Amino acid sequence: MKDGPLDMRMNQNIGEDASSWLNNAPEQEISNIIWKYGEEKKAKRIAKAIVEARKSFKIRTTKELAEIILEETPRRFNDKKHPATKTFQAIRIFINNELEELDLLLDFASKHLKIGGRTCIISFHSLEDRMVKRFFRDHSRRDPKLSKLPNLADDSSFKLVTKAIKPSENEMNINPRSKSATLRVIERIK
């Protein structure tokens, strides 16, 4: 893991950085964020360790945070992901309001996309993908309660263009970050 400032903001001119938030947030809030956005089973232990560590020093770098997490969640043999990955993801999502921004984008697309226009979204983790999948599903089919009734017109405004697309082995070898990516495409039909 590379070391650097513990910022995580996509725009360094807006909002509170990760270091400031981690050094001031209550333990319960940290735990909730790590659980909600990182789906980390050891969220409470990690939050407690962060609060304990910050009594001794301000957590200012990615390496410092990773070491705190590593002490609480040591690597198991054959683990491919670093134990801090989910926690870093959770903090980044929270700091940048990423899921709220995605929700705004999906809402905007549903209102402003013209007939024949397509929305393509690449998601990189399960929280994003669930939101996109649910939105696409809800906007591209008729009411499931009515779907078994005969002679009902499909009133969907969108259609799925293709099934979810995952990267090929070749793409993952060239671009390892693509491994977790899922591309979904929807088209406005009326």
- Assign domain 18-96 one CATH number from 1.20.1290.10, 3.40.50.970, 1.10.150.170, 1.20.1250.20: 1.10.150.170
Over 157-176, what HEC string results?
CEEECCCCECCCHHHHHHCH
pLDDT digits (tens, 9 = 90+) for 111-157: 999 999 999 999 999 999 999 999 998 888 655 555 566 655 666 78
Is the separation of the CB atoms in 30 and 24 below 8 Å?
no
Q: How close are the terminal C-alpha atoms of the chain, in Å?
A: 48
pLDDT digits (tens, 9 = 90+) for 64-91: 999 999 998 876 655 678 889 999 999 9
The four Cα atoms 55, 64, 66, 91 give a dihedral, to 10 degrees, of 70
**24 burial type by CB count under 10 A (0-12 exposed, 13-18 middle, 19+ buried):** exposed
18-96 against 98-188: fold identical? no
Side-chain half-sphere CA neighbours of 20 within 13 A: 8
Torsions phi, psi of 175, nearest 5?
Answer: -130, 85
Parse the chain into domains and list their residue ranges: 18-96, 98-188
98-188: CATH superfamily: Vaccinia Virus protein VP39 (3.40.50.150)
The predicted pLDDT at position 138 comes to 87
